[in-house]
Chain A
Amino acid sequence: DIQMTQSPSSLSAFVGDRVTITCRASQSINTYLSWYQQRPGNAPKLLIYAANSLQDGVPSRFSGRGSGTDFTLTISGLQPEDFATYYCQQTYSSLFTFGPGTKVDLK
């Protein structure tokens, strides 16, 4: 199985901050990497697919980079609605594994 790790596990930030979350795969997954946002009590929402492609309707302050084993999600100018938990997911192998999540809260 391909294991996914994320760092940090949590972070505190101010509105307007630039935030970067890292996701690492235990083996190369090319660019088969998605990022999701989950607010409490809600289903996850797709932000980024194919490592760097912005899903329709997602604000451009969200961006993704990376390939192989190392990936990042950056939020440029954190907004109040961005305080949530973020998950990465690989879909390279037949078992689609998620990272453990990164919780972003208000400083």
Chain B
Amino acid sequence: QLQLQESGPGLVKPSETLSLTCTVSGGSISSRSYYWGWIRQPPGKGLEWIGNIYYTGRTSYNPSLKSRVTISVDTSKDQFSLKLSSVTAADTAVYYCARLGDYWKASDSWGQGTLVTVSS
């Protein structure tokens, strides 16, 4: 059974960099059949796509966040990571990692999510 688990600090100061890691278990991140993505949800609001990565390292980012986002993959650890720089209070959200099918790109498996609060 595939599982995804987000990890990282729950509190980040304004102007600093948010860093999260998603660990994949029960499956390989190097599978050619899947992409891996990050999605966030501000408290009480809807879902926002951040970006996704293929095991080869090929990435696609939300243009509204592109200047601040880096997604990377570590196939040796079955992990992929998110870095979001110069954070503000508007970046406070639950951050989810997810697996995407390679053709339709539907997110068929999700982590439980982790709340990251940006505050001094």
Contacts and interface: CB of A to CB of B under 8 A. Distances in A.
> In terms of DSSP, what is the predominant structure of the interface of chain A?
loop
Interface string A24-41: 000000001010100000
A55 B108 contact: yes
Nearest to A49: B106
B-side interface size class: 20 to 34
Contacts of A50: 104, 106
> In terms of DSSP, what is the predominant structure of the interface of chain B?
strand
Contacts of B52: 96
A91 B39 CA distance: 13
B46 A43 contact: no
Interface in B19-41: 37, 39
Contact of B60 (A89, A94, A97, A100): A94
B46 A87 contact: yes
A81 to B, nearest CB: 18
Interface in A50-72: 50, 55
A91 B104 contact: yes
B62 interface: yes
Which 5 residue pairs are nearest across A and B when measured between Cβ atoms? A49-B106, A91-B105, A43-B110, A34-B106, A96-B49
Interface of A: 1, 32, 34, 36, 42-46, 49-50, 55, 87, 89, 91, 94-101
Given A49-B106, A100-B46, 17 more contacts: A1-B63, A34-B104, A34-B106, A43-B96, A43-B112, A44-B96, A44-B107, A44-B110, A45-B110, A46-B106, A46-B108, A49-B101, A49-B104, A87-B46, A91-B100, A91-B104, A97-B49
